[in-house]
């Protein structure tokens, strides 16, 4: 990649908000500026779940979803356990588990008994789950089932306390995902936004390659790069609501990096129909990246549409 002139900026290089940890089984992200804290975007030696995805994010009764996650686990690789809970009226994520969990070791696999309200969809980076046709009353209303993903360096029994409301440990993280069950036409159900590629200092990056970047600065603390992520505009179905006129729409983008920090923990990616052609397009979401080190770095961008849709893209770069 051609080296670009780098300009110094006055930034809070000391970090922002403490790395998110799970409180009351929810991932809480905070921001701020304090010398003793790290920013949410700054991935370090701590294990962290960055996003959980259901594809598609909304299904008809009897539909099948693929479940996967973006996980930062610096040492080794965790086992991902995918639990599905069909809630009763009034159930929360926690009560749906606690009301049905006698022993983590006794959770049945989904599909063995379609009447089971709590089951294990599978183990691994990606699993599939098929919702029973009669899981919810046929009342024409939208419903929701819960996905509880446990990322563990051990077995699921070692995470029993976390599943029943205990505080997660560094080696046992719990992430939560709602999947919408709808009786709408399948063509009208929400889809996940799809990232297209990163752009670094105006140059489009190949997502499948480790990109070499030549930088010049007095010190590594002075390195500043403009990095952006773009989206496949055709995947932003919110631009064209069923029965409505095309209208602009924004995605929330969260950036994460293993090197340094970015200027914004969250940015917005704006999409709109072209005024002349009507074709969809999306402006990239851009932040300033201060790597603070040379060598191999990874940058992640997680896109959220606010309707349960999630997509992400990861890029490796070699700074020298």
- Main-chain phi, psi angles of 194, to 5 degrees: -115, 115
Token representation of residue 155: 């077995």
Is CATH 3.30.1120 the classification given to domain 195-319? no
Alpha carbon distance 240, 272 (integer Å): 10
Interval 278-292 mean pLDDT: 93
Q: What percent of the chain has pLDDT over 70?
A: 88
More confident residue, 222 or 200: 200
**Domain boundary assignment for the chain:** 58-187, 195-319
pLDDT tens digits, residue range 149-186?
999 998 888 888 888 888 888 899 999 999 999 999 99
- Of the ranges 60-69, 96-105, 136-145, 256-265, which one carries the lowest mean pLDDT score? 96-105
pLDDT tens digits, residue range 6-51?
332 322 323 333 323 333 333 333 333 333 456 789 999 999 999 9
Is CATH 3.30.420 the classification given to domain 58-187? no
Alpha carbon distance 50, 40 (integer Å): 10
More confident residue, 238 or 26: 238
191 contacts: CB under 8 Å, gap ≥ 6: 56, 57, 235, 237, 309
Q: What percent of the chain has pLDDT over 90?
A: 65
Residue 113 confidence (pLDDT): 83
CB 163 within 8 Å of CB 97? yes
More confident residue, 98 or 181: 181
Residue 278 confidence (pLDDT): 81
pLDDT tens digits, residue range 183-205?
999 999 999 999 999 999 999 99
Residue 111 confidence (pLDDT): 84
At residue 131, does pLDDT exceed 80? yes
Residue 147 confidence (pLDDT): 97
Residue 37 confidence (pLDDT): 56
Alpha carbon distance 41, 195 (integer Å): 18
Q: Which residues are registered as beta bridge partners of 203?
A: 200
Alpha carbon distance 25, 37 (integer Å): 22
CB 228 within 8 Å of CB 29? no
Residue 240 confidence (pLDDT): 86
Residue 276 confidence (pLDDT): 86
Residue 220 confidence (pLDDT): 87
CA distances from 217 to 32, 225, 244, 259 (A): 27, 11, 51, 16
pTM: 0.85
Alpha carbon distance 58, 187 (integer Å): 11
Residue 287 confidence (pLDDT): 97
Residue 2's pLDDT band (cuts 50, 70, 90): very low
């Amino acid at each position: 990649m051609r080296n670009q002139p780098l300009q110094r900026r006055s930034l809070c290089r000391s970090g922002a908000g403490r790395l998110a940890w799970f409180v009351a089984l929810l991932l809480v992200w905070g921001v701020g500026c304090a010398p003793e804290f790290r920013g949410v975007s700054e991935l370090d030696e701590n294990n962290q779940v960055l996003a959980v995805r259901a594809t598609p994010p909304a299904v008809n009764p009897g539909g099948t979803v693929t479940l996967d996650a973006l996980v930062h686990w610096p040492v080794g690789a965790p086992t991902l356990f995918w639990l599905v809970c069909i809630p009763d009226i009034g159930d929360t994520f926690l009560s749906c588990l606690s009301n049905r969990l006698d022993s983590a070791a006794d959770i049945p696999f989904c599909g063995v008994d379609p009447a089971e309200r709590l089951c294990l969809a599978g183990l691994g980076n990606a699993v599939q789950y098929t919702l029973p046709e009669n899981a919810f009353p046929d009342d024409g209303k939208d419903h929701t089932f819960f996905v509880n993903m446990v990322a563990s360096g051990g077995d699921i029994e070692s995470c029993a306390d976390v599943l029943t409301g205990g505080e997660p440990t560094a080696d046992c993280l719990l992430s939560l995902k709602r999947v919408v069950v709808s009786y709408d036409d399948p063509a009208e159900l929400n889809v996940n936004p799809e990232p297209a590629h990163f752009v670094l200092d105006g140059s489009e990056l190949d997502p499948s390659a480790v990109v070499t970047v030549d930088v010049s600065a007095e010190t590594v603390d002075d390195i500043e790069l403009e990095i952006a992520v773009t989206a496949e505009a055709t995947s932003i179905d919110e631009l064209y609501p069923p029965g409505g006129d095309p209208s602009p729409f924004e995605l929330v983008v969260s950036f994460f990096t293993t090197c340094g920090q970015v200027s914004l923990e969250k940015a917005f990616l704006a999409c709109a129909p072209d005024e002349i052609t009507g074709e969809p397009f999306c402006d990239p979401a851009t932040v300033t990246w201060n790597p603070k080190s040379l060598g191999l770095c990874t940058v992640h961008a997680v896109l959220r549409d606010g309707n349960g849709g999630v997509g992400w893209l990861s890029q490796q770069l070699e700074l020298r």
